[in-house]
Amino acid sequence: MILKVYTSLLLLFLVNSVWTRTVRQVYDDLDPEHWSHYTSECPQECFCPPSFPNALYCDNKGLKEIPAIPARIWYLYLQNNLIETVSEKPFVNATHLRWINLNKNKITNNGIENGVLSKMKRLLYLFLEDNELEEVPSPLPVSLEQLRLARNKISRIPEGVFSNLENLTLLDLHQNSLLDSALQSDTFHGLNNLMQLNIAKNSLKKMPLSIPANTLQLFLDNNSIEVIPENYFNAIPKVTFLRLNYNKLSDDGIPPNGFNVSSILDLQLSHNQLTKIPPINAHLEHLHLDHNKIKNVNGTQICPVSIALEEDYGYYGNVPRLRYLRLDGNEIQPPIPLDIMICFRLLQAVVI
């Protein structure tokens, strides 16, 4: 399982690297005699670098409207402006857009013309962070791979807004105004290839329903979550990185084997209300428990395998893989108990 997760992440990295090199090669092979043509097409408010002819830089220009976008543009940078509306007119010729950055503007849902986004048939990355959105915009292009909507005022997710986004791998909704009622059992329906879901810094009191089964990274920091439902992670069997820092989790809110999940490699439970270390799986590599209410640590009790068996089989047995353990900000007094070191033989760092 772990090998498959690492393979998926490595494959994503390699694909992105090859794609980037291919794009750069196109720019490097560009005939300089065409540069003047690209410059003449460039909107006067923006910058069109001759060495990057498929990019249009209109960021930090004090723009209130989106200028006409030339047909050749793949990458559009419009962040840090005063744009309030996204209409169809500027994009009439821009049929090859892959990337749009509209972060830090003043865009509202009413300012987005109906259907303008869904008509961008090749769009892969859409950045709308730090705007004035109150709900997830819709309809969205089915080609999308990343949707970043952090730091808006989103409290509503329209029904079916994600239903056709099978290519989406990253959805960032952190620092919005989402309540539990905004996340229904079918909210994330259709996100069959989602790998990262970020709902940190919202107003959730419960673990969200129906997280896509292929999710690898789930970020829920800075909410008010008190309880982990029993067998919650059975529905997301590939989850590898789990962040629940700055919530209200107590010992009673975690079922006996709530985090004893073989897929989880990095578990972050900092700044909660735990008084003891919850049971963990032998596959876990990073555990963050700082700033809780833990008074003591018993290595024999928290060891995911029998220490006696571990001594018999050594490194050829099921040795726990924990490499990093953070316990500072609790009520634990040094030194580190010897049985911790006996159990977790691969530990490289302990913060206490």
d(CA 328, CA 294): 10
Q: What is the pLDDT of residue 9?
A: 52
pTM for the model stands at 0.87
DSSP symbol at 132 = -
Q: What is the pLDDT of residue 316?
A: 47
Q: What is the pLDDT of residue 311?
A: 54
Q: What is the pLDDT of residue 17?
A: 44
Q: What is the pLDDT of residue 223?
A: 98
Longest dimension (CA), the chain: 76
The number of beta carbons lying within 10 Å of the beta carbon of residue 2 is 13
Q: What is the pLDDT of residue 29?
A: 42
The list of the chain residues with pLDDT below 50 reads: 1-5, 10-11, 13-37, 313, 315-316
181-233 pLDDT, tens digit each: 999 999 999 999 999 999 999 999 999 989 999 999 999 999 999 999 999 99
Strands (E), 247-348: 266-268, 286-288, 324-326
294-345 pLDDT, tens digit each: 999 988 889 998 866 555 545 445 789 999 999 999 999 888 888 999 999 9
